[in-house]
Amino acid sequence: MSEPIRVLHVDNDPEFADLTAEFLCRENEVFSVVTVREPEAARATLAEEPIDCVVSDYEMTPVDGIEFLEAVREEHPDLPFILFTGRGSEAVASEAISAGATDYLQKETGTSQYAVLANRIENAVARHQARRRSRRQLRRERERFSALFEEFPEPTFAYEYVDNEPIIREINDAFEETFGYDAECAVGTRVDDLVVPPDRMTEAKEIDEQVRAGESVDRVVLRQTADGQRYFSLRNIPLSLEEGIDGFAVFTDIHERKRREQDLERKNERLEQFVSIVSHDLRNPLNVASSRLTLARDDCDSEHLEYVASAHDRIGTIIEDTLTLARQGDSVDEMRVVDLPTVARRWWESVQTADADLAIATELTIRADADRLRHVIENLYRNAVEHGSRRALARRLPRTPSSMARRALARRLPRTPSSMARRALARKLPRTPSNTTASP
C-alpha cells in the first residue's frame, strides 16, 4: 500500500475547494486533502502540519497565487507547488514557473480535470521524494567519506581550481602530520606553494595542467615535508561530492623504496664496470697467453703444455661463468645428478696439489649445476693445499645427509681467505635430504 499524500488546497471558493477534495480522494485513496481559503491560513498550516504538495488558485486576496508561491518558497524551497487557476494565460504560466512553481494547470469544466490534477500531484510528490532520498543518501555518503577522509592513513587533500590554480579546500590529519601545516594555514592556499620544492615547480605545473584537463595522474614526485624532501606517489581522484571541491589528491610515501631503487641503480653501474673489467682486462691477457702457448707448442713438445692449455680453458670458463652470473643474477643452469666421488677425483686432477693426497669416503650423489659445483670444489682444494696444515691435507667427505656434510666441510676448512669458499659451498649444497640420493 502506498504512503498517504497530504495535499494542501488553497482556494477562496469553498464550494470548488470541497469539490476538488472529493474528486481527488476518488481518483486515489492515498490522497488526504486539507482545504483553506486564504494564503495566511495556508502558511500557518504548513508551519504546523506535514504537507506533501500545495495546490493553489491564482486569484485570491489579499495576495494572489504568485505572491503566495514566493512566500512558500522562502520557507519551503523544494515543496511541490501546483498553480491550479481559472485565469489561464501564457504570461501567468511563465510567471508561475519563474517563481518556482512545480507545475501549472488551468481549471476547466467537467470532471476530467481532476484526474489530470491527481496525476500531476502524484508525479510532483514522487519526484520530490526521490530527490529527498537522493539527498539523504548523498548526505550519508558525504558523512562516510568525511570519516574515511579524516582517518585515511596517507596524506590527502581536497582541491578546487580557482583561476586555473589548485586551491586546498580540506586536508586530513595525515597531511598535517606529514607536511607540517594545519587546516587554518593550508585551506585556501595553492598546494604548490606549500609542498613543491622550488626546483620542481615546472613539473608541478605540468601535473596541474593534466588534472585541470580531467586526466588521471599517478606519478612519482619529490615534495617538501616537515622532515625534509621525500618521494611520494601522487594520485588524483577527480570526484566532486559537494560544491567547491573538484577532486582529491593522495600522497603515498615511497621514499625508502625510491632510495633502494637508487642504491640498486648505483650497484648495477658498479656491476657493469666489473663486467667490463672481467670481459676485457682479463680476456686480453688470456688471449695473449693462449697465443704464446701455441707458439711454445711449435718450439717444444712438453707434457706440461697440456696442463697449461687445460688451465687456460678453465680460466676462460670461469670468466664466462662470472660474466653470466653478473649479468643474469644468482641463477643456475640445468640441475642434474652428479656422482660426487667421480667428479671429486676428476677435478682434483685439474688443480696444483703438490704432494697432497685426496681420500674419498662416500658414494654420495647430488643434484647440482656441475660448472658451479666444480668451481666450488676446486676452490676448496686450492685453499686446503695453500692454507691447510700438513696433517690436514687429506680431507674426507663424511657419508652423511647433505646438511651434515655441508656443516662438516664448513667446520674443517681453514678460516683464512678460504672462508669465502666455505660459505659458497654451504650455499650451493642442497639443504634437504630429499635433494640427495645415495648410490646403491
Question: Does 418 score more than 60 pLDDT?
Answer: no
Binned at pLDDT 50, 70 and 90, residue 414 comes out as: very low
Angstrom distance (rounded) from CA 270 to CA 272: 5
Mean pLDDT value of segment 67-74 = 95
Mean per-residue pLDDT, 62-87: 92
pLDDT higher at 154 or 353: 154
Q: Which fold has domain 5-132?
A: Rossmann fold (3.40.50)
Residue-level pLDDT at 415: 43
Q: What is the pTM of this model?
A: 0.44
Report how far residue 380's alpha carbon sits from residue 386's, in angstroms, rounded to the nearest whole number: 10
The residue with greater pLDDT, 361 or 193, is 193
Give the pLDDT of residue 419.
43
3-class secondary-structure state, position 338: strand
pLDDT average, residue stretch 242-267: 86
The string of pLDDT tens digits covering residues 107-123 is 888 889 999 999 999 99
State the fold for domain 152-253: Beta-Lactamase (3.30.450)
Structure confidence at residue 88 (pLDDT): 67
Percent over 90 (pLDDT), the chain: 40
Phi (first) and psi of residue 82, to 5 degrees: -115, 125
For residue 394, name the pLDDT band (cuts at 50, 70, 90).
very low
3-state helix, strand, coil in the chain (%, to 5): 55, 20, 30
The predicted pLDDT at position 372 comes to 78
Round the average pLDDT of the chain to a whole number and report it. 82
> Residue 292 — very low, low, confident or very high, per pLDDT cuts 50/70/90?
confident
Work out the burial of residue 368: count CB atoms within 10 Å of its CB; fewer than 13 is exposed, 13-18 middle, 19 or more buried: buried
Provide the 8-state DSSP code for 425. H
Q: What is the pLDDT of residue 141?
A: 77
pLDDT in tens, 174-202: 999 999 999 999 999 999 999 999 999 99
pLDDT computed for residue 227 by the predictor:
93
**CA-closest candidate to residue 384, choices 353, 345, 420, 350:** 353
- Cα–Cα distance between 386 and 377 in angstroms, integer? 14
Q: How confident is the model at residue 437 (pLDDT cuts 50, 70, 90)?
A: very low
Q: What is the pLDDT of residue 388?
A: 65
Weakest-pLDDT range from 95-99, 156-160, 367-371: 367-371
Q: What pLDDT digit, counting tens, does each position of 134-150 carry?
A: 888 877 877 777 777 87
Side by side, the strands of the sheet bearing 103-106 are 31-36, 5-10, 53-56, 81-85, 103-106
pLDDT attached to residue 403: 45
Helices (H), 49-111: 65-75, 90-98
